[in-house]
Amino acid sequence: MNEEALMETPLFPLPPVINTASVTALRGQLVERRGAPLELDASEVQRIGGLGLQILLSAARAWAADGQHFAITKPSSAFTEMLRLTGAANLPELGL
């Protein structure tokens, strides 16, 4: 993707807590954005559970299957730590 197209990619802020109570809404918001480039801002994430991580991995794979740009940007230390603890920090789908 060229630099100009990346500048036009919408930045979607992730909620501070991504858990069982919030993943249904998050999934719906992501589905609404499918088919277009997307960057997720993880700077405010304080907690993310396993189901939230699954939703993000599923989204990353869906965007890849569609040939669309998908990225998680500005990961908070809590977000990064959860990825490290679960072994997801090195998954190429997440692009971190």
What does the pLDDT look like over 28-87, one tens digit per residue? 999 999 999 999 999 999 999 999 999 999 999 999 999 999 999 999 999 999 999 988
> What is the rounded CA–CA span in Å between residue 56 and residue 64?
12
pTM of the predicted protein model: 0.84
Q: State the number of CA atoms in the 13 A half-sphere of 83 facing the CB.
A: 20
Domains and CATH numbers, the chain: 3-94 (3.30.750.24)
CB 57 within 8 A of CB 87: no
Other CB atoms within 10 Å distance of the CB of residue 17: 15
Backbone angles phi, psi at 16, to 5 degrees: -60, -35
